[in-house]
Amino acid sequence: MLETPRLIMREYTTSDIDAIAPVLSDPRTMSFWPVPFGREDVERWVGRSIASYREHGFGRRPIFLKETGELIGDCGIMLSMVDGELRNDIGYILHHPYWGHGYAIEASRAVMDDAFTRLGLHDLYANMPCDHDRSRHVAEQLGLQRVKEFNNTRNRDIRTYLYMIRREMVEGGK
């Protein structure tokens, strides 16, 4: 489990499917994805993270508000093919009512710290559509640096930024 001043993140279980479905199926929240998720997509999303925990020791995690226990999104790392290369891809999805409160930065910082300390990963990547200003802001606030721009064949062939951070770039990282 990862804990921040305002958030709790733990590994997904299949019992989280109903709680995360309204987030992943919301058209506004998922406006930068090819389409909002249907029920089967949500089940695959959660199942892929569960499998990734076993295989790699990491995956996406549901984000809960400490104060209320409400599930407001997810954040984590998946080993993903990004522009033709397998990468440790950090990602975050917050339900739109929670945008602008710093939750994505807070959750991602905890995931990033865990990746570099407990997991011993050497680098993390984030990709987002070039016009996704909020996501780009999160990556930049975390210290990730833009390394390239590409057409994302996995997301409607749209122009996409790729950001990266190495463990040694993080203060105190070894």
The average confidence (pLDDT) of the chain is: 92
The answer to whether position 159 is within a domain reads yes
Residue 42 to residue 45: CA distance in whole angstroms: 5
Pairwise pLDDT comparison (52 vs 83), residue with the higher score:
52
pLDDT of residue 172: 54
Q: Which residues contact 138 (CB under 8 A, 6 or more apart)?
A: 92, 104, 105, 108, 126
The pLDDT, as a whole number, for residue 159 is 87
For the segment 138-159, what is each residue's pLDDT rounded down to a tens digit?
999 999 999 998 887 776 777 8
pLDDT of residue 129: 86
Is residue 91 assigned to a domain?
Answer: yes
The CATH number of whichever domain residue 76 belongs to comes to 3.40.630.30
The total number of structural domains in the chain stands at 1
Q: Nearest to residue 11, comparing CAs of 67, 70, 57?
A: 57
Range of the domain at 70: 2-169
Decide if 125 contacts 162 (C-beta within 8 A): yes
pLDDT in tens, 71-81: 999 999 999 88
Residue 174 lies inside a defined structural domain of this protein: no
**Three-class HEC string of 19-63:** HHHHHHCCCCCCCCCCCCCCHHHHHHHHHHHHHHHHHHCCCEEEE
State the Cα–Cα distance between residues 159 and 123, nearest whole angstrom: 23
Q: Note the pLDDT tens digit of each residue in 10-61.
A: 999 999 999 999 999 999 999 988 889 999 999 999 999 999 999 999 999 9
